[in-house]
Structure 1
Amino acid sequence: MLRLFIADLHLRAEATDQARLGRFLTRFGAGSELFVLGDLCDLWLGDDIDLPRFAPVVDALAAYAARGGQAHVMVGNHDFLFGEAFFAHSGARPLPDPTVIEHAGHRLLLTHGDTLCTADVDYQAFRTRIRAPQFVADFLAKPPAERVQVARGFQDASRTATAAKAADVMEVDTAAATAALREADADMLLHGHTHRPGVHRLDAGKRVVLGPWYDGESALVWPADGPPQPINMGCNANDLID
């Protein structure tokens, strides 16, 4: 089976931006699986607000499913509020973080990647806070206008904090990645989040980073019976499987 891996599209509410997913997926259908490893959308404030605003994204996933494809969507730090309605309308299945799959003779560990940035202790504390079930329930109970205001405050604070941090603080920790591979008994870790595409060799296997879609499509297209085909990932097939 052909499998497609993408992450960090950060699609916004503008229709022209959202159309990029549909254009990419029109090439694929029956006999393929799509794995989205987080941050499909740049901001998701709840299904009640964003299902209408992101109709082209939801429709693109539904059309892919209608052609016989199966999408699996993992949430990221920007869209972790995807709810049941999103999955029901899109035809996608929720993908737990992390997930292990077997493909083309490899055991792949799939994750968004943010939990592996262990040096960024402030981010990890913030992540724990906003992912807490009670925080999520309280946030989703707020009126839409208030949710938008709260989210803007978080985004402004995040941009300020990010600008003040050293780049290596926000990178995936090698020891954490190696430990995750060993715990999963996997030989390849595939993730997004850092926006630094490429391949890194670790003692336990390889760490493969998907690229963001800011400057065009980035994906790993991998047939079950052929070499992987990286698109705008700063690497080639040999880097992945040699």
Structure 2
Amino acid sequence: MLRIFIADLHLRVDAQNQARFGEFLQGFGAHSELYVLGDLFDLWLGDDLDLPRYRPVIAALRGYAERGGVARIMVGNHDFLFGDAFFAHSRAHPLPDPTVIEHAGRRLLLTHGDALCLADVDYQAFRARIRHPAFVAQFLAQPAEQRIAIAREFQDGSRTATAEKTAAMMDVDADAANAALIDAGASLLVHGHTHRPGVHPLPAGRRLVLGPWFEKESALIWPADGAPQPINMGCNAADIVG
């Protein structure tokens, strides 16, 4: 089974942006699995609002499934409001965060990555607040115009806060990443979120950061019986598996 790992596509509503993803998926089909490790979309405000706006992406995912591919999608910090309708229409499968899989004789731990950015205390508090079931239910009950206004307010606040933080503060905590590997019994942690592709050694294994797909269509393509193929990630197979 060929597996494709991508993250941080941040797809937007413009047609060219959505078509680019469809063209990427056309290269894969039967006997492949696509793992999206968060932030497929730059913003998802509810299935009722966004399914009509992202028809080309939904159609591309459905077409991939019809060709025999299996798409597994993890939510990120930009699109954690996926509902059952999204998965029903796209024929993709929800991927819990974190998830452990066996591949090519290795045990991999998959996560979006934001939950491991422990130094950013303000972000972690914000993340917990907006993902609380009560907040989610209240938000989704609002009319579309109100949801859009709230999202813009949050985005403006996030941009301001990000400008005042160091890169180190917004990066994954190495000790937390190592502990996660140990708890999962895995040797390779794969994540996105930080937009800082590369491989980082840890006492328990290695941490592979996927590049942001929206920039260079970064991806990790890994046949079940072969070496991993990092695309536009600034590393090679030996960096990943040793």
Please give the alpha-carbon distance, in whole angstroms, between the structure 1 residues aligned to 2:57 and 2:230: 23
Q: Give the letter for the 2:48 counterpart.
A: D
Give 1:216 shift. 2.1
Give the equivalent residue in structure 1 for 2:197.
197
1:113 is aligned to 113
Amino-acid identity (%) = 71
List runs of 5+ in structure 2 lacking aligned partners. none
> Hey, what does 1:2 align to over in structure 2?
2
Q: How does 1:78-117 map to 2 (within 5 A)?
A: 78-117=78-117
1:144-177 per-position Cα deviation (integer Å, ceiling 9, x unaligned): 0000000000000000000000110000000000
User: Where do 1:1-242 residues align within 5 Å?
Assistant: 1-242=1-242
Matches of 1:36 and 1:212, distance apart in 2: 11
In 2, the alpha carbon distance for the partners of 1:214 and 1:160 equals 22
CA contact (8 A) 2:74 2:94 kept: yes
Structure 1 residue 15, shift from structure 2 partner: 1.0
List, as ranges, runs of 4+ consecutive aligned residues in structure 1 with deviation greater than 3 Å: none
Residue 241 of structure 1, CA deviation: 1.1
Q: Aligned pair count? A: 242
1:197 Cα offset (Å) = 0.4
Cα distance in 2, alignment partners of residues 211 and 157 from structure 1: 25
Task: Quote how far apart the aligned CAs of 1:21 are.
Answer: 1.4
2 CA distance for matches of 1:217 and 1:172? Answer: 22
Code of the aligned partner of 1:168: A
CA RMSD, 1 decimal: 0.6
Tell me how far apart the structure 1 counterparts of residues 205 and 215 of structure 2 sit (CA, whole Å). Answer: 29
Q: Normalized against structure 1, the TM-score is what?
A: 0.99
| Counterparts of 1:19 and 1:106, CA distance in 2 | 34
Partners of 2:20 and 2:123 lie apart in 1 by: 30
Structure 1: 5+ residue stretches without partners: none
Q: Distance in 1 between matches of 2:139 and 2:223?
A: 41
Alpha-carbon displacement from aligned partner over 1:20-50 (angstroms, at most 9, x marks no partner):
2111111110000000000000000000110
Contact 2:11 2:214 in 1 (8 A): no
Equivalent-residue separation in structure 1 for 2:193 and 2:215 (angstroms): 16
Q: CA deviation at 1:18?
A: 1.1
> Contact 2:213/2:219 (CA < 8 Å) preserved in 1?
no
